[in-house]
Structure 1
Amino acid sequence: MNKIAASDDLGLTLQAGLVTKTLVGLFGFDRFRLAVSADGCTFFDGLSVDNANGIVDQPQLPRFKAYTKHDNYVGVGTWTKIGLNSSDYNVQGVFDAGIYLFTVPVDGTYLFGATLLFKVNSSTSARMRGRLVLNGATEIRGTYGEISGAHVSEATALGLQTMVPLTAGDTVELQGYFRAQDGYFAADYTSFWGCKIG
């Protein structure tokens, strides 16, 4: 099989009830692609392979990276959801920057990470903690951490990372906490990210 121009089509079309549900091949360009459709009109690339280097891409893979545009004040002794009100990317719209919440779009295994950057309010004797919380109530195992040594404003950071199986509709949020003294989680560098990996 051969096609003349990169913009031509060459591949297989799989249909159900005479409606095209899947395209496999070189459709519209020279990258190999696997695309699916619910209605035969709008197609989503589930998989594509760059013909110049063999790199595989999953364009629709749920993933996000959110951060806060303002310093988040947190008092002593209270777990508080961090106001992550902006995102660097947000494929599938899985992160809601209005309520600072990731919502699981499909069942699977997800990888998450977060960075909390300390900013002083009244004292560098503050001790910051962080965690990820499932469905607003349950701490996700492996995500709790604290920096218990001396803090330096806008330099001391706490990193969190874990992998967890989740069900569609579950939510995950980043929470921060201070003991000893209050403080801020700093703008621009306090962030939360995640992606589906299985």
Structure 2
Amino acid sequence: MSTTHNLALPLIAAAQAQKHVTHNEALGLLDALVQIACLDKDRPAPPPAPAEGDRYLVPAAPDGAWTGLAGQIACFQDGVWIGLAPRPGWLAYLVDEGEAYLFTGAGWTPLAATLRSLRNLAGVGVNAVPDAENRLAVNADGALFSWDETRAEAGDVRLALNKRATGRDAALSFQTGFSARALLGLIGGDDLALKVSADGAAFVTAFTVAAGSGRVRLPAGLDGTPVGAADPALGRFSALALVPASADPGAGTLGQIAVNSTERALKWFDGARWARIANLAKFSARTNYDNYIPAGTWTKVAFNEADSNDQGSFRAAQNRFVAPEAGLYRFGAALTYRRNGTSQPTLFEARLYRSGAPAGHGRAAAASPLTDGVTGLLLDAVLPLAAGETIEVFARFTGADGYAAAADSAFHGAQLP
């Protein structure tokens, strides 16, 4: 063998005369091929005044002294151009372009283009080491995905997480110390879900969004206790479905919402208590007979029939309203005078009683002459009530007895939001 395998450097033969010639030739070739830096790759012919050691990548069909050197590295050495045939894997730096080129065996290719075409890699790590599970690993304070500015029609950015089948997961995992604390995505189905965990082992579903309808479901109690299998009936709700409980939660945080199935009420926690925000207590009642009112005695008017009675707060058997919960309520009543024979009362009065005593608000009176079937009284009052407090209507005549006529007499009230 007279040359080396890779760079084809001449070898000194045994008992060779003038060994320095061969040795110097090898050094010259090493000087040309190691750390290759070429001045250009697009010249069709040599420059008119090359400097010793100048190198060029020779293009196809060159002229002049480069004739026959197509695809080789032309090196100006000892006043002549010599051609060096590249081998696959050689790298050369192009000074005029500031770009590194790779010889593939078929030609010179920009190394940047080679890197851009990398595919089917086993893993990629940025300041990190990938593994079989995490093929892409990045250790950084941030990561940016931006739209492709080289495409005029671009402007959108989408990150796709594609799973094999419905029963698999496609989710983002938010972790503390490499222990999951929240999962957001398609988890075990095609509904969007958010699940949270305090220990990375037990997860509670915060909400799900149905893939078919877009309806939001909150399938856990306010205290985080799971409520069991999803109720198909929740699908009937138009937007947000809250799982009802038979009673108000024992405690709450400002702004939380709950459904009390016993009271059939939607409530929110105002920081101190669970207050209704829908299906408020309200009623309208009447009496089906003329109520006799003796002279000089406050007597309860027996409103014994309910025209409407949301929340069942009006008790017809006791002729009273019972506050289902603490809050502000508005009440009104209308009473019409009816004469008892020839009696002529001098005064007709009415007022509201709260839990068996005068309420202090809501009182009306009409003085004689009282006109049978015409004279009437109107009451109106807004009262703060505790849960269980009662409201009733009482009336009194002065000077003689009379009736509170069934016709045109009514009692109504409503809880204020």
TM-score where L is the length of structure 2: 0.39
Task: Please name the residue that 1:130 is paired with.
Answer: 350
Point out the structure with the larger helix share.
2
- Shift of the 184–34 alpha-carbon distance from structure 1 to 2, 3 Å rule, reads farther
Q: CA deviation at 1:9?
A: 7.1
Q: CA deviation at 1:196?
A: 0.7
- Pairing 1:81-96 to 2, within 5 Å after superposition: 81-96=300-315
Task: Please name the residue that 1:141 is paired with.
Answer: 360
Task: Please name the residue that 1:167 is paired with.
Answer: 386
Task: Please name the residue that 2:406 is paired with.
Answer: 187
1:28 aligns with 2:233: no
- Shift of the 10–188 alpha-carbon distance from structure 1 to 2, 3 Å rule, reads farther
Instruction: Show CA shifts across 1:76-118 (max 9, x none).
Output: 0000011111011011111111111111110000001101111
Any conservation in 2 of the 1:125–1:180 contact (CA below 8 Å)? yes
Q: Compare relative contact order (CA 8 Å, sep 6+) and give the higher one, 1 or 2.
A: 1
Larger Rg computed on CA atoms: 2
SS at match of 2:362: coil
Distance 1:174 1:27 in 2: 45
Output the aligned Cα RMSD.
2.8
Task: Please name the residue that 2:281 is paired with.
Answer: 62
Any conservation in 2 of the 1:36–1:46 contact (CA below 8 Å)? no
Task: Please name the residue that 1:13 is paired with.
Answer: 218
SS at match of 1:88: strand
Aligned residues: 178
SS at match of 1:143: strand
SS at match of 1:142: strand
- Shift of the 81–33 alpha-carbon distance from structure 1 to 2, 3 Å rule, reads farther
Q: CA deviation at 1:189?
A: 2.2
Extract structure 1 runs of 4+ deviating beyond 6 A.
Answer: 1-4
Task: Show structure 2 runs of 5+ residues with no match.
Answer: 1-208, 229-233, 247-258, 268-276
TM-score where L is the length of structure 1: 0.78
Any conservation in 2 of the 1:124–1:150 contact (CA below 8 Å)? no
1:38 aligns with 2:245: yes
Instruction: Show CA shifts across 1:16-38 (max 9, x none).
Output: 21128xxxxx95254x5665511
Point out the structure with the larger strand share.
1
Any conservation in 2 of the 1:131–1:176 contact (CA below 8 Å)? yes
Q: CA deviation at 1:166?
A: 0.6
- Shift of the 78–45 alpha-carbon distance from structure 1 to 2, 3 Å rule, reads closer
Task: Please name the residue that 1:78 is paired with.
Answer: 297
Q: CA deviation at 1:188?
A: 3.9
Partner AA of 2:226 in structure 1: L
Distance 1:118 1:168 in 2: 33
Q: CA deviation at 1:68?
A: 0.3
- Shift of the 99–122 alpha-carbon distance from structure 1 to 2, 3 Å rule, reads same
- Shift of the 122–92 alpha-carbon distance from structure 1 to 2, 3 Å rule, reads same
Task: Please name the residue that 1:23 is paired with.
Answer: none
